[in-house]
Amino acid sequence: MELNKYLACSRAARKLVPADLVLRNAKIVNVFTDRVEEGNIAITRGMIVGIGDYQGKEEIDLQGQYVTSGFIDAHLHLESTLVNPQVLISQAEAHGTTTFIVDPHEVANVAGTDGIDYLLSQTESLPAHVYVMIASCVPATPIDDNGCRLTAIDMKKYLSNRRVLGLGEVMDCMSVINGDPYMNDKLELFDGKVKDGHAPNLTDEELAAYVMAGVTTDHEGTTYEYVMKERSIGMTCHIREGSAARNLEMIVKGIVENNTNTEGFCFCTDDKHIEDISREGDIDHNVRKAVSMGISPIAAVKMATIQPARCYGLRRTGAVAPGYDADLVVWDSIKDFNAQMVFYKGELVDPDRKIRQAPCPPHLMDTIHLGELDPEKIKIRRTDTPFPALSMIPGQILTERKDVLLPGYEYFEPNGDLDKIAVFERHRATGKTGVGVVLNFGLKGGAIASSVSHDSHNIIVIGDNDRDILLAVRELERAKGGYTIIENGEVYDTLELPVMGLISDKSYSYVNRKLKKMISHAHKMGVPKGIDPFITLSFMALPVIPEIRCTPRGIYSVTEGRFLTVTE
């Protein structure tokens, strides 16, 4: 700490001078004693200097309301909220999240270090702590067709950045386990820093080898049994509750039933739409839901504050105690967790503050480069041999392989139960187009398409006829990226995402209004209520999530590590 600041804080702590601000009559959730303690919170120069009978130059009477440290989202992709990072931070902060551990691998897969630099610049001067874990897998795997390749040499310049905490989720597990030199260079570069994991459904032996490489966290656990396997070898488990992947209920149910110690758990959103944050909340939603299922309020608060702070080495974040940053949230209760006031470094955050978005470099607004759209490439010839279909699972981003006999005569014809899925390479205009069959999406009378398609972010479409599938691709080319719905040969609506094909340049209210309308309409077209049509679609091309995916190169079995069909 700079000496002058320390001296000012020390004098205020010893009551030699009034504190800058005192929050009176607070019920403080103490994450060290696991108790709620009544007291006054003294703040000077943005730091908590004492709890007790202090006088302040400014005082606010909280009248017995509860105070916690600001919540921490332990892992998220800002791009997945669809809005400018400043807009997202503002919305989430209104719900009590003041610290964000960001993995920028979406923008990195499109634009490399230019994308990472864009996110860093957009979040530099916000009234929140925004830290970055440098994207480790760009591309996610050797079979991906993305926009850039990020090497250890490219990453080196970020090591000196004070906001860079470590290495982002290491998705290519097998490259780690098999000791691939290209991956090992990245792991060694970040030696001594936190390395986030991405380890769905590894065997005990694979998980042991993965952890030996220095990976310490994972957010891909979907069952209590699996996360306890990770906890048993010392991993910190981030319980994810996003828009498509909703894992909290199954994991917390097991924690409560088995009276499990929650010390090694944190909360994260990973991928969450702005519409869902507005409707149900951010990390406060995770905390509320966990408490409603039987986790004690104090344990839930610790999972949202001190535990992720310790996981990422944030010495002055995560507690209401002397020496900690005055990032504080005033709540109505520790059952409902409705934020009444939010402070960042002792300053009251104005939820209605005007946001001035920094301009985006022009080349990041022109990233959709398609080759020729050949209708013949999206036809699937019908045979009497079962075809490997992607079966969606409501509330999950996992899929199951279902071998099905395709309806139709010469070519596959969607029938209401089975839809067609296609992925079009969009970075280098190669014309690569993978096509497959999807079960349980339920779309009828049109097509839904997205340029948000983890992690390579090619254009992905599900439809029940080829005309609308091709029209959807051309519409996203016109919009320079986004989401679109085609119905009966016409564009129903499009949410434009021109910033790298991932982010809107419009206001939060515009994005929220349009997205809500489009999701509702997708459900009217047959998509089940338990499936978020756009976020679920966006994961169907990601070849590191079991069990089966559609890529521009064909249908890929994640569990077998091989292509089941190959693009001609």
Distances (CA, A) of 128 to 47, 85, 259, 333, 506: 14, 12, 34, 23, 22
Which helix or strand (DSSP H or E) is residue 446 part of? strand 446-450
| Domain-located, residue 47 | no
CA-based torsion, 318, 322, 324, 329: positive or negative: positive
Asked whether residue 286 falls in the same domain as residue 371, the answer is no
Asked whether residue 124 falls in the same domain as residue 225, the answer is yes
What value does the mean pLDDT take over residues 316-342? 97
| Residue-averaged pLDDT of the chain | 95
Distance CA 269, CA 286 (A): 8
What value does the mean pLDDT take over residues 482-497? 97
Closest CA to 99 of 75, 133, 67, 119: 75
Q: Which residue has the tokens 């059952």?
A: 335
Report the percentage of the chain scoring pLDDT > 90: 86
Asked whether residue 383 falls in the same domain as residue 257, the answer is no
Asked whether residue 141 falls in the same domain as residue 74, the answer is yes
Indicate the angle between helix axes 224-231 and 204-212, nearest 10 degrees: 40
Find out whether 441 and 460 touch, Cβ atoms under 8 Å: no
List beta partners, residue 38.
27
Of 277, 297, 312, the position where a domain reaches its end is 312
Distance CA 161, CA 548 (A): 38
| Domain-located, residue 333 | no
What pLDDT score was predicted for residue 568?
67
| Domain-located, residue 319 | no
pLDDT at 298 over 80: yes
pLDDT tens-digit readout, 44-62: 999 999 999 999 999 999 9
Distance CA 118, CA 509 (A): 23
Closest CA to 80 of 256, 283, 243: 243
Which tokens hold the place of 222? 């979907």
As a whole number of Å, the CA-based R_g of the chain is 24
Of 274, 296, 312, the position where a domain reaches its end is 312
The domain containing residue 500 runs over which residues?
A: 363-563
pLDDT tens-digit readout, 104-127: 999 999 999 999 999 999 998 899
Which tokens hold the place of 14? 């010893």
Find out whether 314 and 306 touch, Cβ atoms under 8 Å: no
pLDDT at 355 over 90: no
Domain CATH for 129: 3.20.20.140
Find out whether 297 and 288 touch, Cβ atoms under 8 Å: no
What pLDDT score was predicted for residue 287?
98
Asked whether residue 180 falls in the same domain as residue 80, the answer is yes
Distance CA 135, CA 185 (A): 14
What pLDDT score was predicted for residue 324?
98
Asked whether residue 439 falls in the same domain as residue 511, the answer is yes
Asked whether residue 163 falls in the same domain as residue 231, the answer is yes
| Domain-located, residue 533 | yes
pLDDT at 558 over 80: yes
Helix runs in 14-166, H state only: 85-93, 105-111, 113-122, 152-155
Asked whether residue 493 falls in the same domain as residue 411, the answer is yes
Q: Which of 159-163, 275-279, 547-551 shows the lowest mean pLDDT across its residues?
A: 275-279
Which tokens hold the place of 523? 């459900």
Give the chain's domain count. 2
| Domain-located, residue 330 | no
Which helix or strand (DSSP H or E) is residue 36 part of? strand 35-44
Of 288, 312, 336, the position where a domain reaches its end is 312
CA-based torsion, 390, 392, 393, 396: positive or negative: positive
What value does the mean pLDDT take over residues 449-461? 96
Asked whether residue 285 falls in the same domain as residue 389, the answer is no
Band the pLDDT of 259: cuts 50, 70, 90: very high
| Domain-located, residue 342 | no
What pLDDT score was predicted for residue 507?
85
What value does the mean pLDDT take over residues 314-328? 98
Burial class (CB in 10 A: 0-12, 13-18, 19+), 526: middle
Asked whether residue 398 falls in the same domain as residue 264, the answer is no
C-alpha atoms less than 13 angstroms from C-alpha of 275 in its C-beta half-sphere: 18
Residue 416's CB: how many other CB atoms inside 10 A?
A: 12
Asked whether residue 415 falls in the same domain as residue 303, the answer is no
Which tokens hold the place of 57? 């130059």
pLDDT at 495 over 80: yes
Asked whether residue 384 falls in the same domain as residue 280, the answer is no
Which tokens hold the place of 377? 């490439």
Which tokens hold the place of 124? 């530099």
Closest CA to 135 of 153, 113, 157, 118: 113
Distance CA 540, CA 462 (A): 10
pLDDT tens-digit readout, 210-257: 999 999 999 999 999 999 999 999 999 999 999 878 899 999 999 999
| Domain-located, residue 461 | yes
Report the percentage of the chain scoring pLDDT > 70: 100
SS3 for 441? coil
| Domain-located, residue 278 | yes
Residue 294's CB: how many other CB atoms inside 10 A?
A: 12
What pLDDT score was predicted for residue 386?
96
Give 129's DSSP letter: E
**Category of 20 on φ-ψ map: left (φ > 0), alpha (ψ -120 to 50) or beta:** alpha
